[in-house]
Structure 1
Amino acid sequence: MDQQQLSKDILKLVGGEENIDQVTHCMTRLRFNLNDNNKADKKTLQNTPGVMGVTINGGQFQVIIGNDVPKVYNALVGNMSKSPDGGTTKSEVAKEKKNPLSALFDFISGVFTPILPAITGAGMIKGIIALLVTLGWMSDKGSSYQILSAIGDGAFYFLPIILAISTARKLGSNMFIGAAIGAAILHPTITTLLGTGDKVTFAGLPVIAATYASSVIPILIAVWLASYVEKAVDKITHASLKLIVVPTVTLLVIVPLTLIAVGPLGVILGNALTDGFSWLFDNTGLFAGLIIGGTFSLLIITGMHYALVPVMIGSMATLGYDYLIPMMMVANFAQAGSALGVSLRSKVKQTKSLAMSTSITAFMGITEPAMYGVNMRYKKPFIAALIGSGVGGAFMSLFHTKAYVMGGLAGIPGIPMILGGTAVYAFIGFVIAIAVAAGLTYILGFEEGSAAAVETAVKTAQTPQTTQVQQVPAAQVNKANEANEEAKPQDQEVFSPITGEVKLLSEVNDPAFAEEIMGKGFAIQPTEGRVVSPINGTVFSLSKSGHAIGLVSDAGAEMLIHIGIDTVKLKGQFFSPKVQAGTKVSVGDLLMEFDRVEIEKAGYDTITPVIVTNMYQYDSIKSAGKTNVKESELIYTAKA
């Protein structure tokens, strides 16, 4: 690959040099602060050979390149007449202020993504209870039912406390002060006092009755305000008194303010959103499903679907059902149907294989590979998917199709969410969406180009190291290919580089990792600040900021360890590398030390993806089945 040409293409497609306010890079991606994100041609960029993906996070336009990003960055800067401006923080803050909508979506995503496992688990338990009672296998009068119901309802009833912790963490304020605010408004004394119907006052000001159990918006606003109060008080308080003064003043200001003004306003707003969507589905017949179902994939692309998460949770908590979850599911099934249609219609082997594999993952609720890698690439299949989801959504809306619990991916694993009185209409709607999307794709067709062009595109999307191969003389490449054909692929065992809790990549609050654009593997939520080698091999790259380490194993597996999310912004602060590029390492050798506590205090999530980036050489990832690991314990195997 010609980095010079790629850099010129990227420079043109982001809107030209005049549209660039600033550009930096981290271990895997170019990070642009653009004057106007709308001037960038995102779709063409995503289809540009050498570009693995494009994402917009907090207003920052990010082009994912892979391990060769430094070369592309240097070529890009060389083609610019002005300095790229190495600083990031002030520019990013300014950009977020210019794009409040992007900042809002980033905030909502950052708050709700970490708590989804708790909500999902509780929702699944509620669904299992309902199924057991319906089948007559459990009585709703017994103590077992009551205990299980408490387990299922607990996360929803005490949702303000859970949200308070997550919100405070996202805002970089004290999580436990946030939890204390949530606990205070849910205290039995407050609940009883506001439920009597009698006049309640605090310091002569009226306290408006409101129900805070299972609420969402009041605590989000309260903790947001608390973050400002906490920082202001901390700034003017002597160090010896901070421990006492800061939490005391914050609680005394925010809790009464929440009860008097913030809480009632938040409850009214939350109820209005929930009631508004309910009214839309209850009173507009098929039109609600046609519009929302038909546009849900567009919401996912823009990130606007995160704004609907509070509505879904609020509806489930207050009404016992939700209309939006079925719309998300029908949109995903339609994307799967279109990819299936591409596989059936295509005459190119590589396209058929790619489309079929991404269709299967989309049916399981992971739609990004099908949506970005197939349907949007060929355009017409994506349009067919929108039409299919609109038609399926319209049918479901006509019969008021609901989800009754929150749990599982919005695909086949999420079927338990819609099991209830309207389940049959949900199944019919899903089938309609799949059939319409696949049928239209097959009938309309698409331009896929030659087999060679498709093969190049597929390899570019899946292989972060293709540039190194293309720089080698052709004769050497042929010899290497012959050797590879004779050599038997080897499984690659990956040992934990960090002590902590094992997480799925889908739990990482960064699309490049969550959608497995960069590669596959697992993530670790660290409990210690050490990183050791997960393989026997060589360190081939180390970011200047220290937050990312690239390795290649003796068996040829290319690994990336990415410490935290957006920690590149720390510019090396709190990171202490112990190796350099070219160092030979064995499993357990110390690579890096980092100050986990200080990084989290600075407002950054320290969850660490540990991924294999050259997955085109492997068939699958097999977990070792551990939920908590220590350094050098096996976490997964890349199966050859």
Structure 2
Amino acid sequence: MYLGYSVAKKFRIDPFLGMLLAGVLLIPQMGTLLTQEGGITLLGFKLQAITYSSSVLPIFLGVWAMSYLDRVADKFIPNSLKFVLKPLVMIMIAVPLTLIVLGPLGFTVDNYLAMFLEFLQANLGWAAVLVMGAFSPVLVMAGMHYALFPMLMTAFATNGYDMLVVPGMLAANMAQAGAATAVALKTKSSVMKQLASSSAITALMGVTEPAMYGVNLRLKKPFLAVMIGGAAGGLYAGISGLKAYALVSSLVALPSYLSSTTNFINAIVTCALGYGVAFAAAYVIGFEDIVDAEQQPVVTIDKSLVKEMNLASPVKGSIIDLMDVNDSAFSSLALGKGFAVIPSEGKVVSPVSGTISAIFPTKHAIGITTDEGIEILIHVGINTVQLGGKHFTNHVAMNEKITKGQLLIEFDLNAIQKDGYDTTTMVVITNTSQYLDVLSHQDEEKALTVVL
């Protein structure tokens, strides 16, 4: 579940959709259903009897597919319906796609990866540790290192130690620290210098995410240095037969290698090689440095090129901040920036001239598109959709041309409140992302400014 959340954040989609997809794969009864006589089918396809609890790539591939679905849905679903329809459409497509195609594919790749490393270890042990040291950061970045845990647990249970995964990751973690240290010494950015220095220390302690994502992967070339350093340390660990007795890959875990003096020295040399080779490689290869904000040239904007459009409040009453309304769809600004009004009368008039682009069957909300392309949603009340149009009267039709100040909706303010509904009215610009900014004001005549 956490993997689905974290991968979704990396792909910049709703992380809870990633968790939901992971939850579908991890349903406790799923294994029973898949292994029952005859199995189960979905959309005419028989689902494979796979247990996904110890697999990583199926969830990764499923969320990756959702990231593309997110873009398509964002393009074709109207802004006024995205909050409800977008996640529904994404899940309806992603779940069958993952269960039928991507899940089995990821499970197979996970198994082949483990089999490949087991083959290397069995036939050419030192090469397997070299590969692990070099590509461990890539596996961690993709979340595929979890696929190695069953093999790792088997090694600990059978032998009491591991000679592949942990030694390889030890070299890779030290390489992350070495590359970050080189960046800290070479960068001219005070911000990057501070980030690289602190992340190098945390990497030495086994927490590599700040160094990986904040420094090495961000600057690209240092990440190559990490792989070179990891390969060097892994090569020595493989040749020397380094044995790890604990599932920790950091300097603080060095005492766990004290099964013998030789093993302890090999662990120290592995760390030194991983750190030193990555440091040297990053320093020699270099990187494209970033520029601090105070070092960037000042850009002067010609104010004559910036246009503004002011909107009056469509409802008389007290204007409040949109983030203060008791409706997360609006207060989170997911539907766009705007403002809210606590109405003093039950009339909604158009704040602009334009075209009616959306009319809700329940009459509680209406969409307007101006001649300039600004999309405005006026939503009367919270959860008033449940009234089914009761207490509301529409005065315009779909695609009707309207003028500023024209009456759009009338609503019985007292009756709605008597039925237990909050009458706070929200006004949002649903295509906010297309403009430089959308600013709200505590002024009925100039409640909103759209910076074009």
The reply to whether TM is greater than 0.5 is no
What is the TM-score normalised by the length of structure 1? 0.32
